[in-house]
Every structure is written in C-alpha cells, then in structure tokens.
Amino acid sequence: MNKLTLSAIVGLMLCGCTASNEPQIVENNMADQGNEASLKSLAAQVNLSVGTAFETRHLQDPLFRQKVIEEFSQLTPENEMKFSYVQPQRGQFDFSKADQLVEFALENNMTVKGHALVWHIQNPSWLEDGQWSKEELAEILETHIKTVVSHYKGQVKYWDVVNEAFNDNGGFRETLWYNALGEEYIEMAFRFAHEADPDAILFYNDYSTEGMNAKANGVYRHVKKLLEKGVPIHGVGTQLHLTSDGPISDVSIARNIERLSELGLKTHFTEIDVRLRDGDGESALFDQAKRYEMLMKLAVFYPQVDLYTTWGLTDKYSWVPNWFKGYGRPLLFDENYQPKAAYNAVHQVLEDASAGTFSYQPATDLTLVQRYVQAFDAKALPSGAFDANAVVYYPFAYNQLGVRNQTVPKAENISGKWAVGYHDNQLIGQVLRHDDFTVTNNKQAHENDNVELFIRLGDKFWQFRSIVGQDFAAANFPGEIQGEWSNDGQQFDFVIEFDDYEDLVGETIGFNIALSDNDNTAEDSVRHAQLYPLSGSNIGWQGEEFGELFMNGQNAVVAAVPVALPPTFVAKSLTQKPVDAESSVWQESYHYSLAFNQLDKKDMTVSQDSIAATWSVGHHDNWLYGMVQRQDDITVTSMEESYLNDNVELFFQRGEELMQFRSTVGKDFEKIRYPHQYRAQWSDDGQTLYFAIELDKPIASGEAIGWNIAMSDNDDGKARRYQLYPVPGSNISYLGEELTKLTFE
Ligand code: XIL
C-alpha cells in the first residue's frame, strides 16, 4: 500500500467525519465527569471501534457497567462463548451466559465479536477425553460451529473462528483438532461458520503475531493459501498480550498489517493488555502507556485496522495475575476505575485524529530504521541452492588474534569473503578463501586452517567448525548441518537446517563466521590469523560479540531490539598526545579496518590490489586524535564535489547533533559549524592522515559516542569506486543513521 495514498485517505476521512459528527460528540460527552469525549465517540470518527472483553459477572459491578457503556463500542465475551461454556455436554448447548452479554451489548449499541469457535484449550472434558475418529471429530466441529453461529446470526458481527493454531516457529500447533484432521480443520471451520451466517465477518486470531516473525509468517502463508482456495476468511486478529518492557516495533507491526491488507484482509487488535511487573513504578506505567499509544496510532493510521480491543477494562479484574505470576495492572483503568497514563495517551491519539492534527506515520521504509551496526543480510534463495548472484558478499575484515592491531594487512597471506542466503528453514552459505598454504595436520583442531560458524538463538549458541577439506558439526544443535570443500580448498559451501523454524523469512539470528590460517606445519604450531567480519576480542566461542544475520524477505523488518551485541570500537586513553600519524603512542591504541565497500550492494569486499585502509583513534585530555593509513596508487582530488574525491570522512555524534568532518587527501578538514578546534594533516605522499578534534567537555571512561569513518577512493576522475567503512551498512551515516559506537577507555 502506498503510504502517501494511505495518509491522504486517512486525512480525507478525518476532515470529512469531523465536520459531520461534531455536534454528536459534544452531546455524548457532557454526560460524565468532565467534558472529555469518550474513547468510542472519538474513535467512531475514524471508523474505529474500541472494545473490551469481560464476563457476565462483571456486569453486577455498577461502576464497571457504567464505564463499559461510556467508553466502549465493542464487546468480546472473555470466556462465555468458548466451547466448554456453550456445549458442556455433547449436543447440549447452553447459551445462557453468552446471551446476557450479547443482549447487553446490543442494548448499548456495541458490536460483538464472538470468541472463539475452535481452540485447543477451554474445551469440555467430553471432547478432550473422547477417542474420536476423523469423521466423528469433523462432525463435532461442524455441529458446534453451525449451532453457535446460527444462534447468533445477525447479532454477532465478527467471529474468531480459529484461535491460536500456530507455534512460535511458524508450524501448526498440535491440537486435538490438528492431530485428527490435519491443517484442513482450519479451512473446514471457516466454511462451516460462513454457511451458518454468510454475513458474519470471520477472523483467524493468535498471539505474538503482530510483527514480522516466524509465527506471523506461518499465519500469513496459511491465510494466503486459504484465500487462494476460496475459503471465506476476512481478517486476522492479533492478540497483543504485551509486557511493558518487551521489545516491540511499530514498523514491524505496520509491515504485517500491510502485507495482510495486500491480501484484502483486515487486521484487528483483539486482546490488548500490557502487563507490569509487581512493584514496578511510574516509569513502567509510562512504558505501558507508550505501547497502548503506539497501537492506537497504528489503528488510526491504517483504515484496515477497525478494531482496538483491550482484554478487560480495569486492573481490578484481569486474567494477568493468574496467568503470569508476578505481573499485573495491564489495563487502561486502575483498580478504582481511574484512567491511567495509558488511557490518557490513547485518548490523546484519538483527539488528534478527530481534530485533524494526527501526524504519525510508521517508518516502513527499511532504509530509515536506525541501528547500531547493521545486520548482515541473508537473501532469499528461491530455488534452495546457493546462488552467487542473489547473495551479498561480505569481507573477513578483522584479525582477532591481532589483539590491538585487528587489521588484515596483505602480509598476512590470507583473505576471504563469505555470503549467506536462506531457503525455507535452511541457511545456505559460502566461504571463498585466498590462501597459498594450507595446514590441516595440527594436533589442535582450531589451530588448523578452518572455517567456524557461530549461531545464537536467544540465550543459546552453537559453534561449528570445518577444517579445510573436512565436514563440520556442532554438538546439540537442533538441526542438520553439512559442509563441503572444493578440491583446491579455496571454496567452502555449507547448509544449516534449523529444526526450530518452518521458514526463516524475517528472522534475525546472532551470527558470526571466522576464517583461521596457519602457515606452519609443525603439529603444535599456532595459527597466525583468525579473521572475522566484525572487530572483537575472539570470544565468539564463548557466545559473545556476535553480529546479526537478517533473513531479509519481502516486507521483513529487522527487530527493533538487536538479538546479539556486536563489539564497539575502542578509543584508548593515550599516555601522550600524538603529534602526527607516525607517533609511537599509536602502538597503544586499537587499529581497525576499512573493509566494507558501501557503494556495492552485492559485494562489499575490496579487491586486494586496489586499496587498503586502516584507522585508529585515541583520546588525550579533551581531544580526540586519530590516524588513517591508506595504500592507494591513484589519488584523485580534482572533483568539484569534494565527497567524490579521495577523502576521509568522520561521523561523530556526542549528544544531539551529528558532525560530519571531511578531509580530501592533502587538505585540511572542510570548514563546518563545529564550535571547537579541528584539524587534519596528510603526509606528503598522501598515504597517512593525522587528525585532532577538540571536544566540548572532558571524556569519561566508558562513555560511548555515535561514530563512523569512511574512506572514498576515486581512480578515474569520474565516480568513486569505493567508499569503505569499518562495518556493513548502506551509506547513510551522513543522515545520522547507521552510526556505530566508539567507546572511550
Ligand atoms: C483467557 C481469559 O482471559 C481467562 O479468564 C481464562 O481463564 C483463559 O483465557 N488468548 C485468548 C483468550 O484468546 O481467550 C484468553 O483469555 C487469553 C489468551
């Protein structure tokens, strides 16, 4: 869906409705404490229903009843339409409780969403304990659905037809329905419901499916398949039982809404609650409000979302404390029916929406997602075979055996690149190495020429190693692993198949890969290089300092919260002030590579013969000092646009503002509005740069700033061939995005 079109539609909708509905709101809202418009009256103006879920017993509480009537335009029976309630004995239906709820709702102009026809829990024991043949269970399913839906024909607008049919990995949950009927039961359920009430709007409903993850992928794939078969399904509900401090990304949710919408499906927010840990104070209430607010913004922004339902009304009654030990207070009103920060936040969004001052737009453009060290991209491989043209090659850029000198000088006699793609639940990758001498006779496996892979899923990690010419494996890895070397030992192809996933689209996993080189044939010698794509201190085998690998399928969005933390770059406190690039004090600092070419989206590596570049920074008093070394045979400085010349750029953010310093080879930094001193000085041969930047305030040890450094190389006086960075990315540091971290030690 085109964002501009969409905002335009929303805009029009807002303007149109505000005018015509205004008098009605004023009337509705005078009724109660204050002149505040109710949630439902504001939401109505953007064609949104705000709902809540409860049981008949709650209607005995007069305050509860009053609040529901005032604020909500939709009701979901929290329990009393579930299988065990409406058909407690086979063939004996009991609608007494559910009828009361429906009657109450209709009397008060609320729509009803029936919940839930088919589920794996809250089923009666006759159903759970019976031994059913396939035919019998199909018959039970049909009778149940048709009886219940017919009973409420014309009264219940929406149905949750099937609830929670998928596992977190995207596969089908093994329920009593699935085990007997296979995945067909889902399709059957929708067809039965539609037959019983052709006007009812039918939903699939699940939890942890709001964003772009494996489970949501499973749901998406299945509903798509159902639609292709002509099954009557009209929308997908996402429950949204959240915690106040859990990771959540509006962009990821937005993408999911958009992909469902492209299939013609609505999205409903069906069971929102945001639980707090017992004892948590103000800041948790604030985080809670932020989550409710974000969801309301999405509901207002997307016309395809026309239901925003909270799973309860007051903290006095909620399923949370019983189901999640140590948690509570998940709703919009506190135990005394006072509106919480969350209520005010949601209310404000709706006020803005109805006043035409709503300006939110989810940043679904992938290039705008801000991230500390970009994830490596694994591309989709449609045929399931490695395809060098489909993937992105990345360099092995850092030698983690080099301690403080992590660069890979040509003299190391080893270099390489790697790429990974994915297909279904498989990672399919390749390592290409240039090595003139291969050692495989060392007594210690890791001291031989080898490739290692590190995978992290949550708090588990695995290490796989393959000595050149041999296969590899990891103990306890839940899946299949294969590796194969070419005869000359210069190419390694591997496949890692995960048992835990149905497919990997949109997944981000912790990832690292290492290439080791030993050139000494003594059986007890040690390797001289172990190359990684990211800097670090060689503790991948301890489960630390991982990068991330992102299965970048269509519409997928890397999670807002990284799954693994890559190392930061370090600026050492220097014992003396360096005066040029040759100062001996540079031996104290870390030296890093400029190895990722961000001008080539398919192969970020640098051809060996063309340019090599390293950098180092340190601090002394309140100055940042740095040096850059380049080996480059052709230097171009004649371009009118200075960024197209051979140059070095620094991106530096301490506090609010991003500073970008640029120095063309041979020249001082260009003048910028940085309020302190700064200076760049090149050696006569243009191969080394020394720079000094005065800082606004002294540096605290442990302080980290936003940072990047780039070297551009132009060889033909036309376009740059390379713009090299120390990490992968997409060349948008100049926008203040994709900065890495520089930590002062
Ligand atoms: C919960 C109810 O709130 C509880 O009262 C009951 O004991 C268990 O079910 N997903 C759903 C809802 O679809 O039906 C569940 O409701 C919460 C999780």
CATH code for position 500: 2.60.40.1190
Is residue 92 situated within a structural domain? yes
Same structural domain, 215 and 270 = yes
What pLDDT score was predicted for residue 365? 61
Predicted confidence band of residue 610 (pLDDT cuts 50, 70, 90): confident
Query: Which atom of ligand 1 is the closest one to the Cα of 115?
Result: 14
Q: Which residue has the higher pLDDT, 345 or 478?
A: 345
Is residue 54 situated within a structural domain? yes
Catalytic residue numbers read: 164, 271
Which mutation among 54, 55, 78, 84 tests ligand 1's pocket best, with the greatest number of atoms within 8 A of CB? 78
Same structural domain, 490 and 345 = no
- pLDDT tens readout for residues 51-88: 999 999 999 999 999 999 999 999 999 999 999 999 99
Is residue 316 situated within a structural domain? yes
Please state which of the ranges 191-200, 320-329, 442-451, 494-503 shows the lowest mean pLDDT: 494-503
Same structural domain, 621 and 535 = no
Burial 206-238 (b: 16+ CB within 10 A, else e): bbbbbbbbbbbbbbbebbeebeeeebbbbbbbb
Predicted confidence band of residue 709 (pLDDT cuts 50, 70, 90): very high
- pLDDT tens readout for residues 329-346: 999 999 999 999 999 999
SS in 3 state form for 320-376?
HHHHCCCEECCCCECCCCCECHHHHHHHHHHHHHHHCCCCCCCCCCHHHCCCCCCCE
Residue nearest to atom 9 of ligand 1 (CA): 79
Which mutation among 83, 268, 314, 323 tests ligand 1's pocket best, with the greatest number of atoms within 8 A of CB? 323
Instruction: Count Cβ atoms below 10 Å from residue 536 Cβ, excluding itself.
Output: 20
What are the φ/ψ torsions at residue 193 (nearest 5 degrees)? Answer: -65, -40
Same structural domain, 159 and 253 = yes
What is the average pLDDT across 549-567? 78
- 471 CA → ligand 1 middle, Å: 48
pLDDT at 12 over 60: no
Of 525, 552, 579, the one marking the end of a domain is 552
Residue nearest to atom 7 of ligand 1 (CA): 319
Interatomic CA distance for residues 587 and 149, integer angstroms: 77
What pLDDT score was predicted for residue 309? 98
- 284 CA → ligand 1 middle, Å: 24
Query: Which atom of ligand 1 is the closest one to the Cα of 160?
Result: 13
What is the average pLDDT across 561-572? 85
SS3 705: strand
Residue nearest to atom 12 of ligand 1 (CA): 78
Same structural domain, 192 and 280 = yes
pLDDT at 103 over 50: yes
Number of structural domains in the chain: 3
Cβ contact 217:248 at 8 Å? no
Interatomic CA distance for residues 360 and 530, integer angstroms: 47
Interatomic CA distance for residues 103 and 110, integer angstroms: 10
pTM of the model: 0.64
Is residue 364 situated within a structural domain? no
Of 322, 355, 388, the one marking the end of a domain is 355
Is residue 664 situated within a structural domain? yes
Is residue 454 situated within a structural domain? yes
What pLDDT score was predicted for residue 554? 66
What pLDDT score was predicted for residue 461? 86
Same structural domain, 435 and 581 = no
pLDDT at 236 over 50: yes
Interatomic CA distance for residues 22 and 318, integer angstroms: 34
Same structural domain, 397 and 347 = no
Interatomic CA distance for residues 371 and 365, integer angstroms: 14
Which mutation among 121, 203, 205, 271 tests ligand 1's pocket best, with the greatest number of atoms within 8 A of CB? 271
- pLDDT tens readout for residues 391-439: 999 999 999 998 889 998 676 788 899 999 999 999 999 999 999 899 9
Is residue 4 situated within a structural domain? no
Burial 316-342 (b: 16+ CB within 10 A, else e): bbbbbeeebeebbbbbbbbeeeebbbb
Query: Which atom of ligand 1 is the closest one to the Cα of 322?
Result: 7
Is residue 322 situated within a structural domain? yes
Query: Which atom of ligand 1 is the closest one to the Cα of 318?
Result: 3
What pLDDT score was predicted for residue 27? 33
Same structural domain, 532 and 573 = no
- 97 CA → ligand 1 middle, Å: 16
- Which two structure tokens, joined as six digits, stand for 67? 């609040």
- pLDDT tens readout for residues 672-684: 989 999 999 999 9
Interatomic CA distance for residues 662 and 731, integer angstroms: 15
Ligand 1 site: residues with CB under 6 angstroms? 78-79, 116, 163, 239, 271, 319
pLDDT at 715 over 50: yes
- 314 CA → ligand 1 middle, Å: 16
Query: Which atom of ligand 1 is the closest one to the Cα of 119?
Result: 13
What pLDDT score was predicted for residue 28? 37
Same structural domain, 530 and 607 = no
Same structural domain, 489 and 610 = no
Same structural domain, 540 and 460 = yes
Interatomic CA distance for residues 21 and 608, integer angstroms: 69
Please state which of the ranges 227-241, 361-375, 707-721 shows the lowest mean pLDDT: 361-375
Same structural domain, 302 and 194 = yes
- 75 CA → ligand 1 middle, Å: 14
Please state which of the ranges 139-143, 409-413, 451-455, 593-597 shows the lowest mean pLDDT: 409-413
CATH of the domain at 87: 3.20.20.80
Q: What is the DSSP string of 121-152?
A: SS--HHHHH----HHHHHHHHHHHHHHHHHHT
Angle between helices 282-301 and 341-355 (to 10 degrees): 30
Residue nearest to atom 5 of ligand 1 (CA): 319
- 293 CA → ligand 1 middle, Å: 23
Provide the residue range defining the domain that includes 159: 39-355
